[in-house]
Structure 1
């Protein structure tokens, strides 16, 4: 039975690297995969990219993308063995239910990778939906500078100073975010 998986963490835990490894494992065995990433992440340019240099082409999804229809159409012509979604925090609740339907009705395993919370400790809509309905939840570990598990994403400005307010989504990498344990996240914002 196919399942909907959610691999989540703070920034810098290797989510994209893990996704690319899973994709490689399927393809190495002659299986057909389909990769997706968020159109919102303008750094991606139609690619899933990891910080360690691995990358693969991916389709782009927007909040209006009907993932059920797009993936089902491909699956009807060329059966898919797995669908992998990067930046899953940017999925809408409706898209998460579409992915669940792919697992339940089309029998395609769907592996989603994303950040659980934003820079204020609030759940992203896609992450909230996945935490609620995914068949399997897997936390990937990032490390705070103190050595503890990093579970929070601290947004910083161009001078490296903590940012406590702003839009939920601001695209950036190590230049804009630090993965910290809850203690150091709270201290930085105090």
Structure 2
């Protein structure tokens, strides 16, 4: 006899909670400031922008570079072959060398890490600027890609290797994709 009563009470409680939650009775009128900087920027509608120093270096060293929709800039150093480009999810093999835009200092290279680098393009397995650039490259193509911090290592950087909010330059070569 007790079990049906407990089940009825539990059902009434759950039903009441569901109605209250769906109605929004206890919803705050002003939820306040978002907790992280990225969300505050997104809600404010503030667009990311290159720094003045970066723009000066881009004009001097990368005049004629193409602009990508996400904000990267690139120069095609050697055209690729064929008409095909990688599709999202395909495994790509690349050679790369990364340098800081501000001083040209090399901080990483595939040659220093045992050879070409493989990853599934467009699956957030690497820098978003790489995904954007590689999806438009042809096999064998070499590009110099200048990535602003928001397409590279972001606000925080990379553990003792890349400081936060710094623009980087990558020489990329698309070796193969499958």
Structure whose CA Rg is larger = 2
Question: What interval of TM-score do these two structures reach, taking the shorter chain for normalisation?
Answer: under 0.3
In the superposition, the TM-score normalised over structure 1's length comes to 0.22
Q: Which structure carries more relative contact order (alpha carbon 8 Å, separation 6+)?
A: 1
TM-score using structure 2 length: 0.24
